[in-house]
């Protein structure tokens, strides 16, 4: 029996190339996850910054009806800053930069509440800008699927009136 060393060497090269491809792919995936996590933590840091807490506090007071000028001036900018924050997160998730479960863990609670409160504002802006905050809608739908999966069967993701009041009271005291 004659051994074909050339064929063995060729097969060894193919196996080595496949192993290298898998290693590069795995390392690339790990690096993207790490970069996405770092970016998510920066977005979380921004959301919890003193400047952003002032915006959240103002919007919560507005929604508690402690302020009556919802569609006027500075408060409208603060509402849109909150929506824009979630818009960026939605865009980055849709593009595969962020991990869906990490975004869900970090932001679903706030997104779910603010989305509920600000849907009428989104609808009013869409009368003249039909694509406004589309990634916020997309983000909420995506994360709501995960939330439903993690809740007891049949439990609503819709906050109760009491939960809404508690959320707004906490946000207004930031």
> For the segment 127-141, what is each residue's pLDDT rounded down to a tens digit?
999 999 999 999 999
Closest CA to 103 of 24, 72, 94, 21: 94
Closest CA to 133 of 173, 81, 57: 81
Tokens found for residue 4? 């074909």
Per-residue pLDDT, 107: 95
Q: From residue 152, how far is each of 155, 160, 167 by CA, in Å?
A: 6, 16, 21
Per-residue pLDDT, 87: 96
Tokens found for residue 58? 């103002």
Closest CA to 144 of 95, 108, 119, 120: 108
- 């800008």: which residue's tokens? 129
C-alpha 97, offset from chain centre: 11
Per-residue pLDDT, 156: 86
- Average pLDDT on 51-67 reads 86
Per-residue pLDDT, 42: 92
| Predicted confidence (pLDDT) per residue in 68-126, tens digit | 555 554 567 889 999 999 999 999 999 999 999 999 999 999 999 999 889 888 998 99
Contact (CB, 8 A) for 86 and 103? no
C-alpha 1, offset from chain centre: 63
């Amino acid at each position: 029996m004659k051994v074909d060393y050339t064929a063995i060497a060729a097969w060894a090269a193919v196996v080595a190339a496949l192993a290298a491809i898998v290693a590069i792919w795995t390392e690339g995936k790990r690096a993207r996850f790490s970069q996405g996590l770092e970016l998510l933590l920066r977005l979380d840091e921004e959301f919890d910054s003193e400047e952003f807490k002032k915006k959240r506090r103002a919007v919560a007071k507005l929604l508690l009806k402690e302020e009556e000028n919802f569609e006027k001036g500075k408060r409208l900018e603060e509402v849109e800053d909150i929506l824009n924050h979630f818009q960026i997160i939605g865009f980055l998730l849709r593009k595969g930069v962020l991990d869906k479960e990490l975004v869900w863990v970090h932001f679903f609670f706030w997104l779910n509440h603010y989305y509920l409160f600000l849907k009428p504002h989104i609808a009013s802006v869409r009368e003249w800008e039909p694509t406004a905050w589309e990634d916020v809608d997309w983000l909420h739908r995506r994360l709501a699927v995960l939330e439903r999966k993690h809740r007891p069967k049949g439990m609503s993701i819709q906050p109760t009136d009491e939960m809404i009041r508690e959320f707004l009271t906490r946000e207004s005291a930031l």
